[in-house]
A and B are shown apart, each in its own frame.
Chain A
Amino acid sequence: MMVPFRKAASPAIPVAAETATRDPLDSPMWKDHSKRYLAGRSVVFDERVQVILPPVTENQTQVPITIDARALGRVDEIVVIVDLHPFPQPLRLEPVGAQAFVAYRQKIEQGTPIRAAVRQGDTWYVGGRYLDAAGGGCSVPPAVIPKVDWENLGEIRARAWREEDGGARVRMRLLHPMDNGMMANIPAFFIETLDVTDADGKPLAKLQLSEAISADPTLTLLPDMPQHGGTLKIAARDNNGGLFKGSVPIPAAPAARTREGRL
């Protein structure tokens, strides 16, 4: 929040808040968030960065969101910023060997702008949309608190597809409560990092997740085809130091109708 009566230090380099472009979503938090997350580089609003949201918020604890910036080509970094949220940065992706695309689900505390800032070199390209939602996805205990399956904590379910463009697609679901620490007597317990690599451990996509990500994180990524071996490896670590790993075989050929329905 703004601190009254304190003059902002004059920055040596232009900060995002001073961009000439007006925030298309007209959000009161944008100035602060852009300073906090994007400072030091130029920021432009660009429609090639797409944030795809459902037409209605069906469940505030599991809102499906897709970030698609493939129109920009290869990018260095994707940061999702949710303006009105106790954890405003749900996800950060370095698609080192992957396309500028991620689909995931997160908890939502109230109606809010949801943006993706996509960095290419020294420029952040920002796109976003407003999500309408009721309150409470982060802080209101559900009527029935779901039981955590401690026995299978960190279990990974995943499947890979070979895409017609020569790349791969991987969908995964990790068993984890992703407790955000806002419910009484339930401490924060969540997956912080998740890496997708090739069989030799060469990184393809590096993700940072936060408390905002929904229980049992479910993700879709578009890694490049590994040069050796038709396998993707997944490795995740939670804030208790728990390590969860698995490997996913990539089919030798694209299945029928692979292109259909791809965004």
Chain B
Amino acid sequence: MTPTTGTTMPGTSRREALALGFAAAAMPMLAGGARAAVLKYTLNPVAIAPGVWTIYGLPEPITSKNGGAIANITIFDTSEGAVLIDAGPSHRYGEALKAKATELTGKPVVRVYLTHYHTDHVLGATAFESGTVSAGKTLTADLKKVGNDLTNAMYRVAGDWMRGTDIPTPGREAAEGVETVGERRFRLLPLAGHTSEDLCLYEESTGLLFPGDLVFLDRAATTPDARIDTWRTSLKTLGGIDHKLLVPGHGPVEAGTRGIAQTGRWLDTVEAQINDGFERGLDITELMAVPLPSWTDGIAVAKYEYARSVMHLMPGLEVARLPRLTRV
């Protein structure tokens, strides 16, 4: 299936038009039978507690192969209907998720909590009625501000998987406190650090803790919108919450606090290595080539995310730490 280039979508920005133009020019090389199949997400929910399932994201970057299905998504059965933690990367994923949740619980989806504004967690939310989608004030504002850039970037990276995807408009505000849905009691705790607002949830009947992307496990943490010090403070807060199982934004569901410790250690390692490289005079591409310590060997996409972090964190050091010259 080739993208339709003859029609103009409402709200098409110049950036989108450029991307489409380029895609059209490249089309003769891409056109092939292999790409013609209709794309379909295969969701394999794993039971993690009675009436609770997690669909694991792949430990990969977002690509046109995986359609962005890289984040963990969780489905709760409640007497009132299904409750979801995050909605996945695209409208198509959201539709598949809605069908899977209804199949598992025999009930409609009554609540979708969005943890933070990154595409792999939120763009599936358009498949659900706006009134059921709950997000923090900052997340909703961020989507309004940069949503168009987010969807554009995803259309480019993940391609046709994104068809029909638009910017979600959450109809409910998730604020600090307890929300009850049927027999489930969700404690909502807005933190920050990975992004400007990271909604964490703790479900009392199961003892499940959802730190969103404040916790990555065996998959390197991403830092495009990170404030590392705030992130560390949030990890400390999370470490103080008693829980039976922790469901990280990316990586395996586990008892204990290995994910919290590992994310903290990753941030410390990356930040220290970037600081050290800066002090020794390395520029971005040089610093990217510096090998990571061996403890990170088992962590998926470590080298790639480290390289991205160099691009995220280095400019801040240059502004703050290169000495200002007196004017001559």
Contacts and interface: CB of A to CB of B under 8 A. Distances in A.
Given A134-B19, A158-B322, A247-B328, A261 B308 contact: no
Contacts, number: 121
Contacts of A110: 18, 22
Interface string B163-207: 000000000000000000000000000000000000000000000
Contacts of B283: 64, 66, 103, 171, 220
B325 A247 contact: yes
A58 B145 contact: no
Nearest to A219: B283
A155 B324 contact: yes
Interface stretch (A4-12, A49-57, A74-82, A87-95): A49-57
A220 B312 CA distance: 18
Given A136-B15, A261-B282, A156 B318 contact: no
B13 to A, nearest CB: 7
A61 to B, nearest CB: 11
Given A56-B307, A64-B311, A172-B322, A257 B280 contact: yes
Nearest to A140: B15
B308 A262 contact: no
A64 B319 contact: no
Interface in A108-160: 109-111, 134-136, 139-140, 143, 155-159
B281 to A, nearest CB: 4
A239 interface: no
A58 B322 contact: no
Contact of B14 (A136, A156, A220, A260): A136
A237 interface: no
A233 B282 contact: no
Nearest to B291: A261
A161 interface: yes
Interface residues of B, number: 42
Contacts of B18: 109-110, 135-136, 139-140
A204 to B, nearest CB: 16
Interface in A224-251: 233-234, 244-248
Contacts of B281: 159, 161, 169, 171, 220, 258
A261 B286 contact: yes
B4 interface: no
Interface in B277-328: 277, 279-290, 304, 307-308, 311-312, 315, 318-319, 322-328
Contacts of B323: 157-159
B30 to A, nearest CB: 14
B153 interface: yes
B149 interface: yes
Contacts of B100: none
B146 interface: yes
A242 to B, nearest CB: 12
A157 B325 contact: yes
Nearest to B290: A261
Interface string A39-56: 000000000000011111
Given A143-B146, A220-B283, A255-B280, A58 B224 contact: yes
Given A58-B311, A110-B22, A218-B318, A246 B290 contact: no
A143 B326 CA distance: 34
Interface in A57-78: 58-59, 62, 64-66
A218 B58 CA distance: 36
B311 A54 contact: yes
Contacts of A155: 324-325
B152 interface: yes
B107 interface: no
B243 interface: no
Contact of A55 (B13, B19, B304, B315): B304
A22 B308 CA distance: 33
A173 interface: yes
Contacts of B287: 261
Contacts of A258: 280-281
A58 B286 contact: no
A233 B328 contact: yes
A263 interface: yes
A103 B307 CA distance: 16
A64 B13 CA distance: 26
Contacts of A134: 15, 19, 152-153, 156
A123 B289 CA distance: 30
A248 B325 CA distance: 7
Contact of A135 (B22, B285, B289, B324): B22
Contacts of A65: 285
Contacts of A171: 281, 283, 318, 322
9 contacts: A64-B284, A103-B283, A105-B284, A111-B22, A134-B15, A255-B279, A258-B281, A260-B280, A262-B286
Given A103-B285, A134-B153, 10 more contacts: A52-B285, A58-B308, A58-B311, A64-B283, A140-B13, A171-B281, A247-B325, A255-B279, A255-B280, A261-B282
Interface of B: 13-15, 18-19, 22, 61, 145-146, 149, 152-153, 156, 224, 277, 279-290, 304, 307-308, 311-312, 315, 318-319, 322-328
A-B residue pairs, 9 tightest by C-beta: A246-B325, A135-B18, A157-B322, A103-B283, A64-B284, A136-B15, A220-B283, A161-B281, A66-B285
